[in-house]
Structure 1
């Protein structure tokens, strides 16, 4: 049976392989519907001339003729790939998406094997990229709508098998295949290896495959699998500057997101800023995606977005997301801040983008800094302006004023809950009224201790049940009196009186149940505030020292610059100065510096060197 369309197609493929024209080869090997009529005719000829069965051997022999003969080993992987391509066209049923995915994944696997050939593999690099994109598109589409293949999974029994083992999604399976192609490109030995080389041969596809693999890993939430990719790129890849701008921008975007998710905000900001600066000015959507992570990265480091930035076209809609957070940080209202970033409709977008937890956990310390700064400005001692030349006490703040401000914030939120139209309860406003646990952050009592207060109220009366349970303690048969003499207690009287008696004079914990303002003991809230301020001092976000007797925050060395600039330095400048000591970004391969090329600036000691020729 004649196959004129297939014959012409095979002849064209053979010429392209001979000319090593990978770009046109990829144009010929189309898969996505709707396909041109020539592919429909070729599929019909394949079904008639080479149906499933023994005839496929003959089809494989025809595909083997596509590879030019050479002195080296035959390129058998490409012949098998072409045979699988034709069988895909012959057998694919787009109505069965799961079967289509399996066929496409097998086809890509074989194409990656063909890519591994050291001589001819580079010819199929564009095809590998094309097939990877098609597979990624199908996998991500099915991941967003799993109901399309749920019935197929049940028919094949896969759902029951995956219940016992860790579930591997279609997107993750696709990422594993693309990772193999990335490894083939990265380990190509053509040209100069390492940071001194330029992309040649299959190495031109390093970042093409890496970007696609990272996209899939971010889609399925398997960021840990990207760690090895970045380590391999740092060790073996040519510098990123040798690759096209589109690949650089995409790679730095995913690298910045990965570093951001691992709380490495300084290198993440460098990568995201470089991605934003190199992105084309007309790529509005891409620049908006970069700003979605660059802005919160800067906020965490104390740098708020400017009005000029938020007015740009790529920042449309981002002001509504981030400006309320900046205002709450500046205000110093920690309860309102925590309430704003509570999981709900308002924060669903932040959670979906993967930036909610970082903003909530890392920015709250900035809220406390703002509150301490405001209290110091309005209620602290700033020094004697008349006697700056004389020796005097440094500026200081009594911490009981900060405690009063915290209790005032709690009272304000408690009063707002008294209204009839209260949308949501703010439990942190009740934290200062609890007898146990934190006085700042409300935590629900552990169920193991549920009813403790009621139990103590019951035990205030010496009931028969209480005596039966604690008789050996409350009314022992004998005891030692205050002079240390043994006494018998035959009647079984209560030795220490009723259980409600005052035992505070025997309390072993000096900070148990203190009364604010009495006996000079600090309150639990004061101890918590001391811990918060100590954390700010340790991080360099505040400067000074704490005194625990008559608790104060003292700010020495404020005569020249003033109390506020000295005690509360600029957050962004402080963090930037500390982190900029090492601007190395893991995963970003930079060209070697001139110093490194010259030997790293090492100093050689020639004091003991001998003249030439002297033994």
Structure 2
């Protein structure tokens, strides 16, 4: 074995830093990202010449590294650190940067061992900066490979990984990295240094709680496994110090990911609260970060009924967002449900940006009810009865709107789209005879001709016959007498619908129910409009009641405020008044309340069993002190 002056100097200096518990400089010493400086290259050359890959050399390296650990009475319990340091040296010696998958595996094993070293109750905090550094490098490599799977596709084929069982959910490199980072997060969260729980301040390894949580959340969002973050937020709520005790950069990043998680789980008001706090606390010069927060804060507010102001969209951090959200807000205000669906349809070029941000389906599902509210409001303004100002309140009827006017307005919208030709699917809704009259669904080929417009000639497509032949064109059937009756291929067993059932009362596809004895039965479109109005009333977006025999929407109690403010309250104020009853945000640990009116642990507002701050005590009958 030849001399190793660089390695000896490296280990000696590192040992002094460990003795001094200088974690920041320890992390600065343990560099792995290329390009490395010349002194590291010389150390790597010494390792390759004197410690070639073999069990004996690795044992000698471990023996050298074991001397760096502080000892008490000749022994040390921090056995994980020498093993980690040995893995670090062998990583520098063996890594081949051109083999990205092997580099990832070596780096993940190195981080795993570093997390084990972090678990030591006495010395673990020394490697906390190193754990964070290695986690960032591993996350960067994993996300880069996730975006460019072609870089490792040939290696995966050589290892036979594509031959795995397709029924088992595959774990990506990003998810594997998140699992390792989560272990480091748990080590930080469960540290017993200082006062635990929401009343304690971050000390020891607990200062890394949100550093590791933010990195883990970043990886989980990258691989689309948000459900794995639920336990993280629950653990933070139960054990973490208040978020306010941590630096602003950690607070903003955590609130951003928390807001996105709540948004993805349809908890829009808590999500808006978290995202708004992240935006308010983000530095004004961090334009890109504020832009990212606004990308999700604006749609969250739109769903809650609050549109972005022009002043907000003109800020530097909102550059490019006006082009995406202003047309959406105009469509919601207009009340044209067909134009709204066309704007956010999967085939629309405007929907591509929303899809990339992961908010397309949420906007489609959650904003359409606001479109219908605008539609109902406009129909009421133009065709409703607003009340007689001359009549007395006791005698005059309340404002109301006949729902058949909403039906006419819906048909008019459909006809306008049919004339424009810009929305074939929406235009066809006006002619739809199957099920919903509002939502267009293309007619199934098996049911063609049931409307009476086209004569049914049987299935002609060989693919349909091959797949559904047993159902629509069987070889035969049993007749009324129980005998087998052969059937020619391609013929309906029960005959033509109009020949057999055209005159029956149970015929469900009558084109003109008004001409029959069931003329009082509402049309499918009327049923849908009534259901939409009922949904708006249930959600509090409209106020009043519905009558069903002569379908109409009535607005009682409108004499003082007027029909529009009473029947169509402000959406944001309605939701805010309901949701603000509980202002807590899941996953956001707030400092305990302080001051004279703060409730105490025993549930009282003041002293034990007596009147305290915040309570009103009647002293009118109290006697002076000393009076018997």
Same fold (TM over 0.5): yes
Cα distance 1:191–1:217, how it changes in 2: closer, same or farther (>3 A)? Answer: same
Q: Which residue of structure 2 lines up, in the alignment, with residue 515 of structure 1?
A: 514
Q: CA deviation at 1:160?
A: 1.6
Among 413, 435, 447, which residue is 1:437 paired with? 435
Question: C-alpha separation between the residues in 1 aligned to 2:202 and 2:379?
Answer: 58
- Indicate if the aligned counterparts of 2:449 and 2:456 stay in contact, CA closer than 8 A: no
- Indicate if the aligned counterparts of 1:546 and 1:552 stay in contact, CA closer than 8 A: yes
Q: CA deviation at 1:605?
A: 8.0
Q: Which residue of structure 1 lines up, in the alignment, with residue 619 of structure 2?
A: none
Question: C-alpha separation between the residues in 2 aligned to 1:323 and 1:199?
Answer: 43
Among 379, 383, 394, which residue is 1:379 paired with? 383
Among 64, 69, 86, which residue is 1:67 paired with? 69
- The secondary structure found in structure 1 opposite 2:390 is helix
Q: CA deviation at 1:75?
A: 1.1
CA displacement, residues 70-91 of structure 1 (integer Å, 9 cap, x when unaligned): 2574211000000000001111
Q: Which residue of structure 1 lines up, in the alignment, with residue 187 of structure 2?
A: 184
Write the mapping of 1:94-133 to structure 2, written as runs, cut at 5 A: 94-133=97-136
CA displacement, residues 157-199 of structure 1 (integer Å, 9 cap, x when unaligned): 1222264521111000000000000000001111111011111
Q: CA deviation at 1:444?
A: 2.2
- Indicate if the aligned counterparts of 2:6 and 2:39 stay in contact, CA closer than 8 A: yes
- The secondary structure found in structure 1 opposite 2:583 is coil
Aligned length: 568
Q: Which residue of structure 1 lines up, in the alignment, with residue 86 of structure 2?
A: 83
Cα distance 1:512–1:579, how it changes in 2: closer, same or farther (>3 A)? Answer: farther
Q: CA deviation at 1:451?
A: 5.2
Q: CA deviation at 1:500?
A: 6.9
- Indicate if the aligned counterparts of 2:450 and 2:509 stay in contact, CA closer than 8 A: no
Among 394, 400, 421, which residue is 2:398 paired with? 394
Question: C-alpha separation between the residues in 2 aligned to 1:25 and 1:447?
Answer: 71
The yes-or-no answer on 1:549 pairing with 2:552 is no
- Indicate if the aligned counterparts of 1:114 and 1:121 stay in contact, CA closer than 8 A: yes
- Indicate if the aligned counterparts of 2:542 and 2:567 stay in contact, CA closer than 8 A: yes
Q: Which residue of structure 2 lines up, in the alignment, with residue 316 of structure 1?
A: 319
Q: Which residue of structure 2 lines up, in the alignment, with residue 93 of structure 1?
A: 96
Q: Which residue of structure 1 lines up, in the alignment, with residue 469 of structure 2?
A: none
User: Which one has the bigger helix percentage?
Assistant: 1
* TM-score (structure 1 length as normaliser): 0.88
CA displacement, residues 380-414 of structure 1 (integer Å, 9 cap, x when unaligned): 10011122455211001111111111000000001
Cα distance 1:470–1:378, how it changes in 2: closer, same or farther (>3 A)? Answer: farther
Please list every run of 5 or more consecutive structure 2 residues that lacks an aligned counterpart in the other structure: 458-472, 482-497, 611-628
The yes-or-no answer on 1:39 pairing with 2:23 is no
Question: C-alpha separation between the residues in 2 aligned to 1:502 and 1:125?
Answer: 79
Question: C-alpha separation between the residues in 1 aligned to 2:261 and 2:501?
Answer: 61
Cα distance 1:547–1:56, how it changes in 2: closer, same or farther (>3 A)? Answer: same
Write the mapping of 1:499-510 to structure 2, written as runs, cut at 5 A: 499=499, 503=503, 506-507=505-506
CA displacement, residues 278-321 of structure 1 (integer Å, 9 cap, x when unaligned): 00110000000000000000000000000010000000000111
Among 324, 346, 351, which residue is 1:347 paired with? 351
The yes-or-no answer on 1:583 pairing with 2:612 is no
Write the mapping of 1:231-246 to structure 2, written as runs, cut at 5 A: 231-246=234-249
Among 171, 174, 192, which residue is 1:168 paired with? 171
Question: C-alpha separation between the residues in 2 aligned to 1:244 and 1:176?
Answer: 25
Over the residues paired in the alignment, what is the CA RMSD in angstroms?
2.5
Question: C-alpha separation between the residues in 2 aligned to 1:337 and 1:250?
Answer: 33
- Indicate if the aligned counterparts of 1:435 and 1:513 stay in contact, CA closer than 8 A: no
Q: Which residue of structure 2 lines up, in the alignment, with residue 493 of structure 1?
A: none
Q: Which residue of structure 1 lines up, in the alignment, with residue 17 of structure 2?
A: 16
Question: C-alpha separation between the residues in 2 aligned to 1:318 and 1:198?
Answer: 39
Q: CA deviation at 1:583?
A: 1.1
Q: CA deviation at 1:443?
A: 1.2
Among 362, 367, 380, which residue is 2:366 paired with? 362
Please list every run of 5 or more consecutive structure 1 residues that lacks an aligned counterpart in the other structure: 460-464, 474-497, 607-615
Cα distance 1:377–1:458, how it changes in 2: closer, same or farther (>3 A)? Answer: closer
Question: C-alpha separation between the residues in 2 aligned to 1:181 and 1:111?
Answer: 9
Q: Which residue of structure 2 lines up, in the alignment, with residue 480 of structure 1?
A: none
